[in-house]
Chain A
Amino acid sequence: MITAETPDGKKQDIFIVDYHFHIWNAAKENWLRPDLAKGWINCFYDYTKALSPKEYVWDWDTYAYYGEEKALHDVFGEGHVDMAIFEPQTLNYFYHKGFSNVDAIGGYVTKWPDRLVMGSRWDPRDGEAGKALLEEQVKKFRIRPFQMRNVKLYTAEWKEENGGMSRGWRLDSPEAFAFLEKNRELGINVQVAHKGPTVWPLDKDAFDIGDVDTAATSFPDMKFVVTHIGLPRLDDFCWVATQDKNIYAGMAVAMAFVHTRPRYFAEMMANLLYWLGPDRILFSADYALWHPKWVIEDFLNFELPEDLKKEYGVDLTMEIKKKILGENAAKVWGIDIEQQKKTQKNDALSKKLNLQPGTIHLGEAAKKGRPLAR
């Protein structure tokens, strides 16, 4: 946990929950279709290099597979994060054992159940076998009340089907709705929707979130988190999330603009606060795309520029930052922050990494971003 001290001497404890975290394996040995597997991890690497401070960019081999030890050290040891939630992206068409492997995730979560949060995934094209697997995972990994409450729903997943290849699926199909029913039955109430470049059929807009809108309206008791705030369709996302109060803005990818492109970051925050308000925005550094240490420190030091505050009629106060960094996600996942603070004082990970409370002094390097050239 981190304590933020403002220039007026006020101190605030901030509990940080990262809703979108990975331990992936894109090492060459795991490449099933080398062009696609390589294309995937190289694209991630480009994202990292595009938005990271230079000193945080690793060599390619480390990036392709960094493993559990490094992830724990970076995220919890250096990175100020208190809890990190897995969002598996399996990509079984590209990688032998998946880009993220759900069984491996189960193993990590079993070791560190008060820090790492198990999330699974499904694909409506998996049919009954997919539902049975989900049931098994809940039995095995619901080892805390907040475990196995979320699934990542990556609609651009490629899959071999009936001798051909399908490049995606939609969340508003009858097959997907059958899985949502199963989720309801199993208490998996957080659906993390993630769009990618392709969908079925291929002439449709793969990034359209109309299907999330339909699902969110049909399952009002469930929460739907839209990853990277709907980008590249932020405007549609804001509009839909204004109608459906069970839709949340997942800041994975979007967060990373804060360092090198603070003015763009300011504009996206102003839009989110204007349309959704402060209670439905969830933080993520999207590790290992970006290191949470700099993302969190920059975010805590970030202030909305005056012209945007005035134009949009919103502000990003310390109270709101605390919501975004952890309180909002805690509510969505049913995490009791006060209880977790007590548990984590003495949990296995704090012993292993010798975690100590840290303080960050704010205000010296407030990042605002100058207005863009008109």
Chain B
Amino acid sequence: MTQDVHVELKQSVLRALSTVTDPELDEPITDLGFVKELSISNDGRVSLDLVTSTFWCSPNFVYMMLEEARDVVSKLDGIREVRLHLEGHHDSDRINGGINSRKSFSECYPTEAGGNLEELNRMIRTRVLRSRLHSMVAAVSRAGVNPSDLLGLTRRDFIAEGETFILTLGGKSFRISDPVDAKRVARYLSFLDGLGRGDGPLVISDLDGTRPEPHELESMLALSRSAKSNFSLNAELCRALLESRLNREEP
């Protein structure tokens, strides 16, 4: 592998990792500082060192995150093998063994887990939906759209144009051009697309794609707001804890 190819491959691994979020925070693990060390051998073997914000992060969420990290990197062209190494976690050895031998969570914890992580995954994705919905609604409100007018729209009423989004509503166009707001819209829409609901209603209240009734909107938005607050509080705490952790001297 030439130097250039090597650098490029490393970048594509990092790009892939940036699509992996901490399920409890809905933020990329690369932004959170969880990726500590990445090395790639000349024959395409990746070794990845990861750290979480505490010694006690729940094993099930850590497992979800690591499985996804392993899988997105494994899929890349030019990668032959991926070895993950989670450091400083109360169950590091078990988790590393399970991930690197491609065991499912219940195979990794045969006597302690009652099943795999589908239920947990659904719970987390419902929160992500709510939180991203809140952010999208806040963004379009700032562009002058009344949230209750969103109920009649479909996903396709949003069109991407460069880095901005255009929402067509009652013959009028609203442009979301503020970069942070545009990103909020993008994150919500990509979640809808990921659910396979790219042709459905713009505003949905659950993973089954249910369109809320007008009288449900207010309480749904209040719930979405608390989901957003919850994620941002958790993420801020985790960033602060990781910083403390990395700057701590062992007793």
A: residues with CB less than 8 A from B are: 28, 35-36, 38-40, 42-43, 45-47, 49-51, 60-61, 64, 164, 167, 196-198, 200-208, 231-235, 238-239, 257, 260-261, 264, 267-268, 271, 274-275, 372-374
Contacts and interface: CB of A to CB of B under 8 A. Distances in A.
A352 to B, nearest CB: 32
A198 B59 contact: yes
Given A60-B251, A203-B106, A196 B56 contact: yes
A204 B115 CA distance: 9
Interface string B108-122: 010111111101100
Interface in B224-247: 225-227, 229-230, 232-234, 236-237, 240-241, 243-245, 247
B244 A202 contact: no
A233 B120 contact: no
B195 interface: no
B111 A164 contact: yes
Contact of B236 (A35, A49, A200, A261): A261
B60 A203 contact: yes
Tell me what chain B mostly uses at the interface: helix, strand, loop, or mixed.
helix
B227 to A, nearest CB: 5
Contacts of A257: 233, 236-237
Contacts of A200: 112
How large, as a class, is the contact surface on chain B? 35 or more
B59 A202 contact: yes
B248 interface: yes
Contacts of B113: 201-203
Contact of A42 (B116, B127, B248): B248
Interface of B: 24, 54-60, 90, 105-106, 109, 111-117, 119-120, 123, 127, 130, 138, 142, 178, 180-181, 222-223, 225-227, 229-230, 232-234, 236-237, 240-241, 243-245, 247-251
Contact of B127 (A164, A235, A373): A235
Nearest to A232: B234
A286 to B, nearest CB: 14
A355 B25 CA distance: 44
Contact of A232 (B60, B138, B230): B230
Contacts of A235: 127, 130, 223, 226-227, 229-230
B115 A203 contact: yes
A271 B228 CA distance: 11
Nearest to B62: A197
A274 B232 CA distance: 18
A39 B24 CA distance: 21
Nearest to A167: B112
B241 A46 contact: yes
A371 B244 CA distance: 25
Contacts of A51: 240
A204 B114 contact: yes
Given A235-B127, A235-B230, A271-B229, A203 B105 contact: yes
A39 B56 contact: yes
A231 B234 contact: yes
